[in-house]
């Protein structure tokens, strides 16, 4: 099996399982993971898959089988990771803005925790003292990432304890004898420049000496992948070289591990979202191709102005014309504006590439539409890994 599913394979899968449909290629996920481990080739480096990008248990198992760890954004993700078979010591919970009760629950499950506010750290210290080592998420005041919605490290961001509050942080730690074993920073998503991670390490150099129990620094995720052919993307070999060089340039980090939390990098390119054209509408300005989906299934174009490459699976050799691809919900839900595509006819199947990360995961039942089914292709075979919703699912939690 190659790393890209061919249009013929996708066509066959769509015919078998129906549309709208998410399809993931396990081989591609494994390839991406091995690219990272090969680039770093260093047993001090640990990768935690940021599973919020795609939490299907079967995907978690693919990465677990490779020896990858997992990073969670909610207590339910922690429970999904445990359910998938990850050991607590390989599960990291990087929380933000959560109730202290959820941190207590994570503690009781025995997972690694990164605490993101002084308030919760104080409560944690008062309750657990030195008995349960933890990490802290810092806000390094570095601007990075594709756009403001996905930038998390700048000086107006809600994430992490600002580095300018270091003195207070150290005093909370000392007072409660908290053992801080991990310093975490995550500056944003869609980072193409390895220098952002180098800068992160340099910010940490000044902070490391304040925490004698430190075992790791955690540089977060956010590795950019290319959505258009000419898009820049992160060069992981260059990233490895620069990060390891900076890391090894300083005695302070001699006994520390480096952790990363890639999400999109691991799963984005493995994913395909297949839709079917319901309606063609010719207007004086534009030809609309309306598909059997909307931002309720793939929100990235409307939410982040994201570009997804599209192909006409059922008429790949048609004459190229321009189409605006829209959905079927009661709001503007444009997937692509004036996109050149082989002639689109009603009934054709259109595939959106690079849809593995934040695709299904951000889908909803808006307009009381069903969420799509999910299929995994592994060892040359496709299998259903999530059923399409049925009408009962819409009523499931309603109380009459």
Query: Contact residues for ligand PLP (CB under 6 A)?
Result: 50, 52-53, 71, 73, 94, 186, 189, 220-223, 261-265, 357
In angstroms, give the least distance from the CB of 215 to ligand PLP. Answer: 18
Q: Extract the tokens encoding 387.
A: 């059923």
Pick the closer one to ligand PLP by CB: 152 or 311: 152
Quote the least distance from Cβ 212 to ligand PLP, whole Å.
25
Q: Residue 390: which residues within 8 A CB-CB, separation 6 or more? A: 370
Of 142 and 341, the one with the shorter C-beta distance to ligand PLP is: 142
Q: Give me 66's structure tokens.
A: 């490779």
Q: Is 215 exposed, middle or buried (0-12, 13-18, 19+ CB in 10 A)?
A: middle
DSSP string, 292-355: S--TTT--HHHHH-----EEESS-TTSPEEEEEEE-SSSS--EEEEEEEEE---TT-EEEEES-
Question: Is residue 304 marked as binding?
Answer: yes
Query: Cβ of 111: how many Cβ atoms within 10 Å?
Result: 23
Q: Is 9 helix (H, G, I), strand (E, B) or coil?
A: helix
CA angle 348-354-360, nearest 5°?
80
Return d(Cα 315, Cα 277) in angstroms, integer. Answer: 12
Partners of residue 22 on adjacent β-strands: 273, 374
> CA dist 85 to 68, 88, 89, 357, 373, Å?
12, 9, 12, 22, 23
Please measure the distance between the N-terminal and C-terminal CA atoms of the chain and give it in whole angstroms: 50
d(CA 27, CA 133): 36
User: Least Å distance between CB 137 and ligand PLP?
Assistant: 7
> Which CB atom, from 28 or from 264, has the smaller least distance to ligand PLP?
264
Smallest gap from Cβ 52 to ligand PLP, in A, equals 6
Asked whether residue 222 is marked as a ligand-binding residue, the answer is yes
Residue 22 is assigned to a ligand binding site: no
Q: How far is the CB of 100 from ligand PLP (least distance, A)?
A: 19
Least distance from ligand PLP to the Cβ atom of residue 324, Å: 28
- 132 is known to lie in a ligand binding site: no
Calpha distance 254→269 (Å, rounded): 35
Residue nearest to ligand PLP (CB): 263
Nearer to ligand PLP, 135 or 294 (CB): 135
Q: Cβ of residue 261: shortest distance to ligand PLP, in angstroms? A: 4
Q: Could you give the residue numbers annotated as active site?
A: 330
Maximal CA-CA distance, the chain: 72
DSSP string spanning 102-140? Answer: HHHHHHHHT-EEEE--HHHHHHHHHHHTTSS-EEEEEE-
Nearer to ligand PLP (CB atom), residue 9 or residue 95: 95
Residue 173 to residue 176: CA distance in whole angstroms: 6
Consult the annotation and say whether 294 binds a ligand. no
**Residues annotated in a binding site:** 222, 300, 304, 331, 358
**Residues annotated in a binding site for pyridoxal 5'-phosphate:** 222, 358
**Residues annotated in a binding site for substrate:** 300, 304, 331, 358
């Amino acid at each position: 099996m190659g790393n890209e599913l061919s249009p013929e394979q996708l066509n066959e899968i769509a015919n078998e399982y129906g549309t709208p449909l998410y399809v993931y290629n396990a081989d591609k996920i494994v390839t991406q993971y091995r690219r990272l481990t090969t680039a770093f080739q260093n047993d001090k480096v640990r990768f935690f898959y940021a599973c919020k990008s795609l939490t299907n248990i079967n995907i978690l198992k693919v990465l677990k089988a490779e020896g990858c760890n997992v990073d969670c954004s909610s207590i339910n993700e922690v429970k999904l990771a445990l359910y998938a078979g990850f050991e607590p010591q390989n599960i990291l919970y990087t929380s933000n803005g959560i109730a202290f009760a959820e941190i207590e629950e994570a503690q009781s499950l025995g997972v690694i925790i990164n605490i993101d506010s002084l308030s919760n750290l104080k409560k944690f210290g008062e309750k657990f003292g030195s008995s349960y080592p933890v990490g802290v998420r810092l806000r390094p005041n570095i601007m990075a990432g594709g756009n403001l919605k996905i930038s998390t490290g700048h000086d107006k961001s809600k994430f992490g304890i600002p580095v300018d509050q270091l003195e207070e942080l150290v005093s909370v730690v000392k007072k409660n004898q908290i053992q801080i074993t991990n310093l975490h920073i995550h500056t944003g998503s869609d980072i193409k420049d390895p220098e952002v991670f180098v800068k992160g390490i340099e910010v940490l150099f000044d902070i490391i000496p304040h925490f004698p129990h430190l075992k790791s620094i955690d540089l977060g995720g956010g590795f950019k992948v290319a959505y258009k052919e000419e898009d820049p993307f992160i060069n992981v070999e260059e990233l490895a070289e620069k990060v390891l060089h900076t890391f090894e340039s300083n005695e302070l980090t001699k006994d520390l591990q480096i952790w990363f939390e890639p999400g999109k990098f691991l799963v984005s390119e493995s994913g395909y979202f297949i839709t079917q054209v319901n309606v063609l509408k010719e207007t004086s300005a534009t030809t609309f191709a309306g598909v059997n989906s909307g931002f309720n299934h793939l929100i990235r174009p409307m939410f982040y102005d994201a570009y997804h490459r599209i192909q006409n699976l059922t008429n790949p050799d048609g004459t190229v014309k321009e189409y605006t691809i829209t959905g079927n919900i009661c709001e503007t839900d444009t997937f692509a504006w004036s996109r050149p595509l082989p002639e689109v006819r009603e009934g054709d199947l259109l595939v959106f590439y690079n849809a593995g990360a934040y695709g299904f995961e951000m889908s909803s039942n808006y307009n009381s539409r069903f969420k799509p089914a999910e299929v995994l292709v592994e060892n040359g075979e496709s299998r259903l890994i999530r059923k399409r919703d049925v009408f009962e699912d819409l009523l499931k939690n309603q109380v009459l």
